[in-house]
Structure 1
Amino acid sequence: MRSAPAADAYADDEWLNDIISCLAEGKSVRRDLPGGGRLHIDRPLPFLCVHIAEDDAEPVARDIAQANAAYLIAPHAPVAIKVIDAVAKAMRGRFGSFAVFDLGELTQDRFLTEDSPFLPPFEIAIWSSDDMVEAAECFSSAISDSEARFRTPKVERVTTPPYREDIELARVMRLSTLAIRFAPVYRQAGTDNAYPELREQLVAMIFDAGLKAMASFIESGGILTLKTHRALGRRAFVDAVTRVDRSIDEVASSFDFLLAVTPINAEAAFEAFRANGDHPAFLYRPLTVQIESAKRKLYSISFDHLEDPVLYQLYREKQHELDLQLSLLSFRQKPQFVEFGRALYGPVEPSLLDEARMILAHLANIDADDDGNADNAIADSGYVQARALNMIAAYQTQLDEFEVSVELRDDLPSGLMVSGHRLLISSATLMDKKRVDPLLSHEIGVHLLTYFNGSAQGLRLFRTGLAGYEGMQEGLAVFAEYLSGGMTTARLRLIAARVVGCASMLNGASFSQTYSILVDEYNFSSPAAFNLVLRLYRGGGLAKDAIYLRGLLALLAHLRTGGALEPFWMGKIAASHFTVMQELAERGLLRLPAVRPLFLETEEGRARLAVARSGMRPIDMIQK
């Protein structure tokens, strides 16, 4: 392999000397190059992803290259060769080996013809230097194993580098090289228009396969020990990520969805309902957001320069979720509200409804209000507030920034809720004193804890919540009540009844019909049934309350198969994001939780967790 030239060979290239100095000191590099292009190295790595093309001639290859932690984009070969030489010398000095992962696009999609009776495969050409054959095979296998939703990739090994003649890097530089060229299947035939979904799929597929190939090169050479190929991904957020994060957060914080759909006249509505049995007339706070303006702002956010497919997907998902929430608010108290709610929270699946009915049947004929114990002491809102302040103080010993605003509110139905960093307690709250600490573990030990841990991650998205986070979040919160020793018969019946009531509401039953089901078939008292049905029919019919049991079942299944809880404390995430959080943690982009739940610091809590790991159903969680 040819040695890279000494630094004095670049005496006329001050920009290159700056790069060489940073590389020698092991610093990160993000440098625009003369004549266009960029070198980005967020940490020393024994490979460099290279893409050489003029302007935006090959946009998908450029996007894949930019997704890497170490990449070079250049319009022409001469500058690229100088940079690659400098990087190769520095990285070989550090690791003993170095490879180039060269990406580009083929000039045409030659398998697609006008008379094709179906969508044919698309071409991916691979060339490798002799010492990169194993990496090439790894790339080929990864592509073949990927799930292609539109067209199937057809991988072909070629004997000569698939370059234009002026940029045959492998021949010029004699470096360990894996070169990939793929057909531009993301383009609509005969135009420059793209298929956006296909483009995103192509970026994700080739990026992941490339990391696997580089991991194969690194591990076979004994260069580094990797837990996963994803550990080779980025470990630093570029400025564009921070801009998108702040922009998304500005939209998300411009309205409080749950407060906007929570009635402010619950007590008066109950009295009116008892008097005439009609659908109560709920009153709501005025909306604090102008829906059309918020949507324009939401979709004006550009994700073009995030350079990280994982983060791109997370922010795109959140954008869609915020759009749904804003649509819900725009149809508050209108017939369309319930359907947007179904789209946001999902239907009640038959298996979920069966589980809820089983729980209610198993616990039939038990008074849902007091667990059959008339001697239980009652806590009012003042007592709940005092206990909340004590628990918050305990969490502040772990993190000074755990600053929660505790508010007593007259405009909420009986109970508690969290909004951002605030704990809102209805002044009408009355509950069994034994339920106070478990319920505070739900609200403070999960909802607020993940808010502050998410804040510590550096991106507001993790405190606001990734798209779809609420199901797992509520499942964790209910599980926290069990770990705190407070899962009662009444509580579990309530959670199950929410599912049954939600199914009734989604099936078109009226408020009074769903109320009657709870009272007549499941022995709920009139106040308890009303408060439950109020939650279901608020705003016009909100499908949210089925997520508590759904999330709990998902969590118990996760624990039963050996899943860890740690990633769930890092921020507000969905079950579908568990592997994403693990990956981001492996890449060093996420910190360990700044605060740990108090209920897991006790012997009792850890013992209950061990029982759950051995396998349990919700019905097994009841504690006397």
Structure 2
Amino acid sequence: MTPARAARKPRTKNKEKTLVEDVIAALEAGKPVRREFDGGRLHIDRPQPFLCVHVGDPERHVVAREVASANASYLLTTSIEDAVELIAPIAAVLRKTFGTFLLIDIDELERDRLLCDDAPFLQPFEVTLSATRGLAADRAVKAFEAAVKAFEARFRTPHIDLCAAQEDPCARPELLKLRLPLVTLRFAPIYRVTGSEETYPDLRERLIDNFLDAGLRAVAAFLEADGFPKPVTYRAFGRKAFIDAVERADRGMDDVASSFDFLLCVTPINASAAWQEFKANRYDKPPRFLYRPLSLLVEREKRRLYAISLDRLEDPVLHQIYREKQQELDLQLTLIGHREKARFVEFGRALYGPVEPSLLNAAQAVLDGAGEARRVPALKPDDDEVVDCFFVEHRARTMMSDYQRRHDGFDAAIELRDDVPPGLLVSGPRLLISRRTRMMRHRVDALLSHEVGVHLLTYFNGSAQGLRVFRTGLAGYEGMQEGLAVFAEFLAGGFTPERLRLLAARVVGCNLMLAGASFVESFRFLTGRYDIDAETAFGLLLRVFRGGGLAKDAIYLRGLLSLLSHLKGGGALDPFWMGKISAADFGVMEELGARGLLKAPVLRPLCLETERGRARLERARAGLTPLAMLEA
């Protein structure tokens, strides 16, 4: 929900009266408020028992202004008189609604007094805090102080002066006269480059994040001391509405992301012919890969990408999400622009990371433990049947129908394609099935649980969240997404020794490629050292060497290991079904959910509804290695 807006116009006494009346009427009705007026803004995304205020020139104390405006309830004005005129009636109606109310006044000190040019190290920076008398206000300011002391400052640590508001020279007399519980914050402008108008962007964002967090902790402590019901988390007092700037950025980012399919752009279209050529050359000459013509102009898409403004999102968490997504899309476009060029592999390393030693060791342990891995029950005779793309398509339609009965927004499409390698691939809301697909029947439902039950499910769950970035995927989501998808194969009962060996061999193949081995050298190593059959090794290395060398396929085993560790540690799965997210986003999703910005997933994988699936999930929670999954 986006709060209502009013155009910015010069104010008169009558207009001031109308503004106050409109605001009070909205608050009494429990509605959100967003009003722009001359030099200021009032934003309350839902009635809450607190208000953050910043008074000052919009061009000067910009971080204080941004700290205030990062909250769900704030007032920005250029004059204290305007502030008082609005605060008094707002406080009255909110106090009547909640039985309590806290005002937080946020501003900056005029200069960074503790910094000296000749100091041998960076000194602490000045922070002053004060509060009016009373138990609840005292608890609030002490919670604020504790949070500020815990700042993870990379360069400078805070030096805090704490006093009573009546003794604080920074406390505004006009606000004290309102006789409201008040916390006053002032901090040194350490984000400014001394002697210039330049700023330190990273430090600026760090200050905004930290002071916002400290303020929410203070609000929670104040309300708890006043007997207010305790929320699940203090971050629940944060924003619960997307403003128009967020929705514009989201649409713009999605438009760029939808203008290309990264994997299709870098995946060969002549897989079958390349295999026949490689085999005819007795595996001695590297295959020649052909790619589809590019339908996008990389430079134009980058211009569109960086034309998206992230300056006015007001929510630091969402700002971080979109900034990271912007950087990821930039890197994907850079890779597409360098397809089949020497630097492609290094840009791919930047996107997917190296093969870390622990991952390589885990992969080698799987491959070396092949004898142990193969000690699994024999398959039923019917399961040995080889099926084609039409059988897979039929089973996919059946599974999609099951999901659509549970949620009519699950509007997926199936395409049989000649221009993708054998197997299955999800692109947005589409399941692409290669016409050359041949697989064992017992693997079909497991692979559909992977592609439909995870990749398509999280696309449509993400679509239901209100912001498209959750269906497109947060930056770095692919590792955990593939780990979940492989885990879904396990829950569905189709995780085989051959599948696990393939995932491990992909890691080894990526490591060989990143270390500089050629296609032929890597092929000889995999077939000789690990006895992988020639066609399987070729298909694996086609994926690894596509585009010029892409280390993406190491993420499957990495993601699975990360997920198994998460489950063993007692972690929940539901946030991962809300959309396409990474393991690093787990806390972010929990916070956005607690703030009411995200919905519970409308769908969960069907493999979790079976007795077998639930039993296997419980075994994973007790602790499993990839090899042990074969016997679970």
> What range describes the TM-score normalised by the shorter chain of this pair?
over 0.9
Which whole-Å CA distance do the structure 1 matches of 2:262 and 2:362 have between them? 29
Structure 2 vs 1, CA of residues 583 and 166 (structure 1 numbering), >3 Å: closer, same or farther? closer
Of 246, 266, 282, 1:241 maps to: 246
Question: Is the CA contact (8 Å cut-off) linking 1:488 and 1:623 kept in structure 2?
Answer: no
Shift of 1:614: 0.5
Q: State yes or no: 1:193 paired with 2:201.
A: no
Q: Deviations over 1:158-212 (max 9, x none)?
A: 4456988894344221210110001001100011111111101110011101100
The alignment partner of 1:123 has SS state of strand
Structure 2 vs 1, CA of residues 272 and 437 (structure 1 numbering), >3 Å: closer, same or farther? same
Shift of 1:434: 0.3
The alignment partner of 2:341 has SS state of coil
**Percent sequence identity over matched residues?**
54
**Which residue is 2:442 aligned to?**
434
Which whole-Å CA distance do the structure 2 matches of 1:366 and 1:606 have between them? 23
Shift of 1:125: 0.6
**Which residue is 1:5 aligned to?**
none
**Which residue is 1:47 aligned to?**
50
Q: State yes or no: 1:113 paired with 2:116.
A: yes
Of 360, 364, 376, 2:367 maps to: 360
Q: State yes or no: 1:178 paired with 2:183.
A: yes
Q: State yes or no: 1:607 paired with 2:612.
A: no
Which whole-Å CA distance do the structure 1 matches of 2:16 and 2:543 have between them? 71
Which whole-Å CA distance do the structure 2 matches of 1:150 and 1:574 have between them? 28
Amino acid at match of 1:50: V
Alignment of 1:259-338 (within 5 A): 259-276=264-281, 277-338=284-345
Q: State yes or no: 1:28 paired with 2:32.
A: yes
Q: Deviations over 1:30-88 (max 9, x none)?
A: 1113x321111111111101111123211101111111010000100111101110111
List runs of 5+ in structure 2 lacking aligned partners: 1-12
Amino acid at match of 1:261: V
Shift of 1:238: 0.3
Amino acid at match of 1:205: N
Which whole-Å CA distance do the structure 2 matches of 1:513 and 1:470 have between them? 28
Question: Is the CA contact (8 Å cut-off) linking 2:151 and 2:157 kept in structure 1?
Answer: no
Shift of 1:447: 0.1
Structure 2 vs 1, CA of residues 341 and 162 (structure 1 numbering), >3 Å: closer, same or farther? farther
Question: Is the CA contact (8 Å cut-off) linking 1:219 and 1:226 kept in structure 2?
Answer: no
Amino acid at match of 1:310: V
Moved over 3 A (4+): 9-12, 158-167, 364-368, 370-375
Q: State yes or no: 1:527 paired with 2:535.
A: yes
Structure 2 vs 1, CA of residues 377 and 159 (structure 1 numbering), >3 Å: closer, same or farther? same
Which whole-Å CA distance do the structure 2 matches of 1:519 and 1:397 have between them? 46
Which whole-Å CA distance do the structure 1 matches of 2:200 and 2:461 have between them? 38
Shift of 1:224: 2.6
The alignment partner of 1:578 has SS state of helix
Amino acid at match of 2:93: A
Which whole-Å CA distance do the structure 2 matches of 1:11 and 1:506 have between them? 66
Structure 2 vs 1, CA of residues 162 and 193 (structure 1 numbering), >3 Å: closer, same or farther? farther
The alignment partner of 1:467 has SS state of coil
Structure 2 vs 1, CA of residues 159 and 165 (structure 1 numbering), >3 Å: closer, same or farther? closer
Alignment of 1:382-397 (within 5 A): 382-397=390-405
Structure 2 vs 1, CA of residues 367 and 615 (structure 1 numbering), >3 Å: closer, same or farther? closer
Amino acid at match of 2:362: E
Q: State yes or no: 1:474 paired with 2:478.
A: no
**Which residue is 2:453 aligned to?**
445
Amino acid at match of 2:123: P
Which whole-Å CA distance do the structure 2 matches of 1:513 and 1:373 have between them? 38
**Which residue is 1:204 aligned to?**
209
Which whole-Å CA distance do the structure 1 matches of 2:79 and 2:347 have between them? 50
Moved more, 503-512 or 131-140: 131-140
Q: Deviations over 1:243-272 (max 9, x none)?
A: 000001111111100000110001111111
Question: Is the CA contact (8 Å cut-off) linking 2:488 and 2:607 kept in structure 1?
Answer: yes
Amino acid at match of 1:284: Y
Q: Deviations over 1:70-108 (max 9, x none)?
A: 000010011110111011101110111111011000000
Q: Deviations over 1:480-528 (max 9, x none)?
A: 0000001100000000111111111110000011111111111111110
The alignment partner of 2:406 has SS state of coil
List runs of 5+ in structure 1 lacking aligned partners: 1-8
Which whole-Å CA distance do the structure 2 matches of 1:364 and 1:549 have between them? 19
Moved more, 257-266 or 515-524: 515-524
The alignment partner of 2:414 has SS state of strand
Q: TM-score, normalised to structure 1's length?
A: 0.96
**Which residue is 1:399 aligned to?**
407
Question: Is the CA contact (8 Å cut-off) linking 1:366 and 1:372 kept in structure 2?
Answer: no
Which whole-Å CA distance do the structure 2 matches of 1:63 and 1:232 have between them? 17
Matched pairs, number: 614
Structure 2 vs 1, CA of residues 373 and 393 (structure 1 numbering), >3 Å: closer, same or farther? closer
Shift of 1:372: 9.2
Which whole-Å CA distance do the structure 1 matches of 2:374 and 2:548 have between them? 29
Q: Deviations over 1:537-581 (max 9, x none)?
A: 000000000000000011000000110000000000000000100
Amino acid at match of 2:309: S
Alignment of 1:5-84 (within 5 A): 13-33=17-37, 35-84=38-87
Q: TM-score, normalised to structure 2's length?
A: 0.94
Structure 2 vs 1, CA of residues 174 and 406 (structure 1 numbering), >3 Å: closer, same or farther? same
**Which residue is 1:596 aligned to?**
604
Which whole-Å CA distance do the structure 1 matches of 2:372 and 2:279 have between them? 23
Question: Is the CA contact (8 Å cut-off) linking 1:127 and 1:179 kept in structure 2?
Answer: yes
Q: Deviations over 1:375-429 (max 9, x none)?
A: 8100111100000000000100011121111011111111000000000001111
Which whole-Å CA distance do the structure 2 matches of 1:200 and 1:261 have between them? 35
Alignment of 1:448-459 (within 5 A): 448-459=456-467
The alignment partner of 1:397 has SS state of helix
Shift of 1:335: 1.0
Moved more, 36-45 or 461-470: 36-45
Structure 2 vs 1, CA of residues 251 and 535 (structure 1 numbering), >3 Å: closer, same or farther? same
Structure 2 vs 1, CA of residues 587 and 162 (structure 1 numbering), >3 Å: closer, same or farther? farther
